[in-house]
Amino acid sequence: MATPQATPEPLLRFCDSLRELKLASGTPSLGDLSRRMPGRPSVSTLSQLLAGKIRRAPRWELVRDLVDACREHAQANGITLPHDLSSSETWRRRHGDLVRALDSAAAQRSPDNLARLLRLAPDNRLLHLGDLTDSDLGVSEPIPGAGAGYIARADFDEEMRSMLSLGGPPYPYVIAYGEEGAGKTRSAVAALRNEFPSETTVLIPRGGAAVSELRSLVDSLNQSGRPAVVWLDDLTAADLEHLTLDLLEWLSGWAVTVGTIPALRCGEILGGTRSEARAVAQAALRRACLVYLPLELNDAERAEAAWHFEGGAVPQNFARVADAPEPREMLLRLNTARSTNPIGFALVHAAINCHRAGLVRGVTRDELRRLLPPHLTLLSTSPATDAEIEWGLSWAQAPAVGGRALLQPLGLTDGEARWKAAQELVGEADSGPVPDSLWLEVIGMATPQECLMIGHQAANRDVPGYSAVAFTKASEHEEHRLDALLGLGLAQTMLGSFAAAKASYQRVVESGETAKKARAAYMLGGVLEAEGDTAGAEDAWRMAAETGHEHYAPMAQAMLALMLIGLGDYTEAESLFLTVADSGHGDAAPRAWALLGTLREQLGDLKGALTSWERAAKWNHPDVMPMLEDSVAELRTRMAELAAVQSSGPGENAEVLLERGERLRKLGHETEALAAFRDAAASENPDERARALFGVAMTLMGAKRTAEACETLEAVAECGVPRWEAEALLELGSTLYEKEDWNGARRAWSRVVETSVTGEVERASVNLGLLELRVGHHDAAAAAFRRAAEAHDPNIRAQAAMNLALLGIDEGMADDAVDAWYRIAIETEDPEFLPQAAFALGGRLVARGHTAEPKRLFEKAIESGDPESEAHGTLLLGMLQEASGDVENAAAAYSRVIACGHANHSVHAHARLGRLCVDNGRMDAARYHLQRAVDAGHPDHSPHAGFLLGLVHCVNGEFDKAELVFQQVIETGNPDAARPAAYRLVYLRRGGGRTEEARHVWESLIEQGREPNVD
């Protein structure tokens, strides 16, 4: 039987605390808690969590929402929870402690014994299938000349996978056998990956003896709840002698055991003399499901394998190429020539990099000579003489490894000899970026037709600047002009050159060619939406939809539907989703059904939503299914609850009616909810009447009947119940504020302040401050914020203090007084406003020459736990260190920000680090970081980084690269960087005698509305 799994003690204690919270908050039902939670988890999920029927730490988001729901229920029922049960910060700390405790327990599971018996991950945990590469599982390097893909062995694959798919317990015990070189391990691993998810625990024992000792660590093995895999590659007789029938039966209770063995060895064991040990090995083999893999490929397998081999040359069997050169041997020959034959080394790398950059044809002798200097520069090697070049070329094309050359001659084309790097090298050496120094050379020697592939390769390698140059040249080829313009538009978009991108897409649209027009219009809509031009985006997407293109028309209609939802046009959005859903588009259709279901659910059409989601599920789309798994189950639960409510009868008791109304409102049935609340409002009990009217108001608000809702909120306030009066007036003020009815909002919130309901009074005070600030009444705003600054709620206190600091700055208040307000905001420890206040105060202190306290403030913001604040704070810390002359720590800080991948701060860090490298003479690093900042396409940081990069290129005499970067900066239209970039570009072109091209630069600047100063 399977190994029982006990819930870890820290997890039990955590679940006990959650049950205590539920009890203290008034014992809400699980259905009520689920409805109060944004993600609406299923009742079974909450039940398992609260009962401790889980095996790993729950997601923090689930815990946070559950705590919030309990707190909301307690507040609704007038229950005051203890701080240690209601505080989100306390629960966040408990959750962190739980995760650390479980991780520590996992790491401490007999680590010495586990490591002695099994291969483990670097952090001492058990390995998962997804952690392991094929080579980790014993798969040999790909056969020379073959691609990396798996070559199917139809009969073996079918039998092996069917064996592995058998359920249990008992789980299967399977051994693949065949001749040496047949590919047993590779085929068995492919079967494993086909049948088991990546999270499957994989145990790789250190020999057969280790398997027999696993019983002593039973509690440390496979706590995932699914069968583990015990992997026994290349079994020996000694290994099998430990696999007793008793041990195999124990393994079959919780694991699938899979092994491989050469056919010769298998035969020797089965046919050998019967010693006691050999008898155990023989029994272990006979117990296994043995699956044979033939050495020879059949005709069908060879036909498929032809697509995996260079030139379609498939060996009769894989064993016959066992002695052929492996890619790593060829790479070893190349790499060891770096010092002994740098010219040959550079020539081969030039050919490899040409292929990687997209120039896949053979290169001529002159082209190799042209590419040689930048490669020699990378090696810090002096320029080569003609004799050295010829000697290096002879070495590179001489047969060496298994009779194959590193640089292979292709014969004559148009009277010129051409060479190409060995295919094994191209694949093996394809790591890291193509050197920046190569791109313009390759583009320069390629034809416009060849530049189309180069443009795509540059885009794939995230260098949109060079992609744009390649596509620009490719657009000169009439046959591929439209494809090139489409690629150019995408590259320009990535660079932040939206005006240029729109122009490129517009040229394609004007061509009238349906397929290209559809794609261009679709892409154009995306650019226009990014610029905030909603009307333009709508026009572009409608144009794409009107083409009727099978791919881009549905994609455009889907984008248009999403936009219309944001604009409140639900009717047309629903119609568009139905059109897309009926299109049969493999990606857009299932997404449209899913989105249509979500829209219908929001509109209260639960049956329609369920139908839509069921239609989406039929597609079995990998990106859609995870959302549907939860949504459909939760919707069915809601519909069942709704049916129960509707069949329960109207009732006459006000409390029953209130409960009914609230449940109907949350289930989206507004009409029936209003009826229940209005019936309850007839109660003579003031509290029940106020609660009922408040329910009416909230239901009307959800139905966008704002005017009626406001009238009802006024009626709530007139009931004379302080709690409901304050809450209604607070909601009324917020509604009027959104309608920009400043006087109405002020009256409502002022009436809240006059009540005695503490929480609402505090919120109304800060709202009044924000209102007065909005209308320019700074004195009144300051008075309101001062009241709010004395609030019990740390968030309100921090928000008020932040605003008082900003008001103080506007009014010229003394620095110490302004700083004091920032310090109050920081002292609240509020996660929202602490980082903001720390950054603001730190910046002020830096401006006054301080360093120690700003450093502490930035570090405090970094430690707040907010990823945004961590990135921003580390960036500011780096800037502070840079200003203090601490170059190394500044560079380290910028590198940490870069590593976090933040859309804004990481680009800024690249730009800052690039400038820092320039200032400290690290020009290669400067070019790298500045280029990364440019390629990011950030509207502010990229143009400034580009201008500096252009200056660096000028200093190094790389004028062609400087022109490219300055042109890209101009195209961004950045108001601060475009003009100086234009001056520099004009200077370069005038200096080269290209006066007409210089004039075009001024014209492009004038088109952006920036008048140049022409001398």
Q: Around Cβ 394, how many Cβ atoms within 10 Å? A: 11
Task: State percent of the chain over pLDDT 90.
Answer: 35
Summarize pLDDT for 918-938 with one digit per residue, the tens.
888 888 788 888 998 998 889
Contacting residues for 752 by C-beta, under 8 A, at least 6 apart? 726, 729, 730, 733, 760, 761, 763, 764
pLDDT at 626: 83
Q: Are 493 and 512 in contact (CB under 8 A)?
A: no
Which pLDDT does position 403 carry in this prediction? 66
Mean pLDDT over 795-824 rounds to 94
More confident residue, 873 or 150: 873
Residue closest to 41 by CA, chosen among 16, 17, 20, 68: 68
The average pLDDT across 433-441 equals: 83
| Per-residue model confidence as pLDDT tens digits over 613-638 | 888 888 888 888 888 877 777 777 76
Amino acid 321: pLDDT:
44
The pLDDT value given to residue 176: 92
Q: Which among 767, 696, 757 is positioned nearest to 734, based on CA atoms?
A: 767
List beta partners, residue 203. 230
Instruction: Give 321 or 458, the one with higher predicted confidence.
Output: 458
> What is the spatial distance between Cα 437 and Cα 486, in angstroms, rounded to a whole number?
25
Query: How many angstroms separate the CA atoms of 478 and 913, rounded?
Result: 42
The whole-number pLDDT of residue 802 equals 94
Per-residue CA distances from 679 to 654, 656, 665, 695 (Å)? 8, 11, 15, 11
Instruction: Give the sheet arrangement for strand 201-203, strand by strand.
Output: 127-128, 201-203, 228-232, 255-262, 173-178, 289-293
In terms of average pLDDT, the best of 19-33, 336-350, 619-633, 782-796 is 782-796
Does the structure show a pLDDT above 70 at 769?
yes
The tokens for 69 are 């729901």
Q: Which residue has the higher pLDDT, 257 or 438?
A: 257
pLDDT on residue 627: 80
pLDDT of 567 reads 85
Query: Dihedral of CA 86/90/93/94: which sign?
Result: negative
- Which pLDDT belongs to residue 293? 82
Place of tokens 């500045």: 930
The larger pLDDT score, comparing residue 524 to residue 23, is at 524
- Both tokens of 373, joined, read 């200097």
Q: Are 492 and 465 a contacting pair, CB within 8 Å?
A: no
Band of pLDDT at residue 875, cut at 50, 70 and 90: very high
Residue 128 — very low, low, confident or very high, per pLDDT cuts 50/70/90?
Answer: confident
- Tokens standing for residue 211: 């398997």
Res 323: pLDDT: 43
Spatial separation of the C-alpha atoms in residues 126 and 122, rounded to whole Å:
10
- Any bridge partners for residue 262, and if so which? 178
Pick from 15-29, 194-208, 808-822 the range whose average pLDDT is largest: 808-822
- Among 407-411, 665-669, 737-741, top mean pLDDT goes to 737-741
Q: Which two tokens stand for residue 788?
A: 């709010």
CA atoms within 13 A on the CB side of 808: 19
Whether the per-residue pLDDT at 312 is higher than 50: the answer is: no
Question: In which band, very low, low, confident or very high, does the pLDDT at 809 lie, cut at 50, 70 and 90?
Answer: very high
Residue 848 clears pLDDT 50, i.e. is over it: yes
DSSP assignment of 688-755 equals: HHHHHHHHHHHHHHHTT-HHHHHHHHHHHHTT--HHHHHHHHHHHHHHHHHTT-HHHHHHHHHHHHTS
Identity of the highest mean pLDDT range in 166-180, 300-314, 441-455: 441-455
Eight-class DSSP state of 756: S
3-state secondary structure of 118: strand
Task: Tell how far CA 131 is from the center of its chain.
Answer: 19
pTM exceeds 0.85 for this model: no
Q: Examine the pLDDT at 257 and tell me if it is beyond 60.
A: yes
Residue 744 half-sphere exposure toward CB, CA atoms < 13 A: 16
pLDDT 10s digits, 109-121: 445 566 777 777 7
Residue 942 has pLDDT above 90, yes or no: yes
Predicted confidence at residue 113, as pLDDT, reads 64
| Confidence bin at 277 (pLDDT 50/70/90) | low
What pLDDT is stored for residue 322 in this prediction? 42
Confidence at residue 906, expressed as pLDDT on a 0 to 100 scale: 93
Tell me the sheet residues that pair with 47. none
What mean pLDDT is predicted for residues 815-830? 94
For residues 49, 50, 54, 60, the Cα torsion angle rounded to the nearest 10 degrees is: 40
Nearest to 715 by CA among 671, 681, 739: 681
For the record, the structure tokens of 73 come out as: 């229920």
Between 638-642, 675-679, 824-828, 917-921, the lowest mean confidence (pLDDT) is in 638-642
pLDDT digit string (tens) for 156-190? 888 888 888 888 788 899 999 887 877 889 999 99
SS3 309: strand
Cα 719 to chain centroid distance, Å, stands at 51
Among 180, 323, 317, residue whose Cα is nearest residue 260: 180
How far is the C-alpha of 446 from the C-alpha of 427, rounded, in Å? 22
**Which one, of 85, 287, 132, 374, lies nearest residue 956 by Cα?**
374
For residue 733, what pLDDT is reported?
94
- Whether residue 911 contacts residue 930, with contact meaning beta carbons closer than 8 Å, is answered with yes
C-alpha 158/C-alpha 154 separation (Å) is: 6
> Which pLDDT score, from 0 to 100, does residue 5 have?
43
What is the band of 881 on the pLDDT scale with cuts at 50, 70, 90?
A: very high
Yes or no: say if 437 and 429 are a contact pair by the CB < 8 Å rule.
Answer: no
**The predicted structure's pLDDT at residue 109:** 47
- For the stretch 198-227, pLDDT in tens is 888 888 988 777 887 777 665 566 555 678
CA neighbor of 576 nearest in space, from 545, 607, 544, 621:
545
* Site of tokens 């170059």: 887
273 pLDDT band, cuts 50/70/90, is: low
The verdict on domain 111-321 having CATH code 3.30.1360.30 is no
According to CATH, the topology of domain 325-432 is Arc Repressor Mutant, subunit A (1.10.10)
Question: What's the whole-number mean pLDDT along residues 672-688?
Answer: 89
- Interior/surface letters 336-353, b for 16+ CB within 10 angstroms, e for the rest: ebeeebbbbbbbbbbbbb
Does residue 339 sit in helix, strand or coil? Answer: helix
Residue 43: which pLDDT band, with cuts at 50, 70 and 90?
Answer: confident
Average pLDDT, rounded, for the chain: 84
More confident position, 701 or 41: 701
**Alpha carbon of 411 to those of 242, 371, 483, 569, 958: distances in Å?**
60, 20, 32, 65, 35
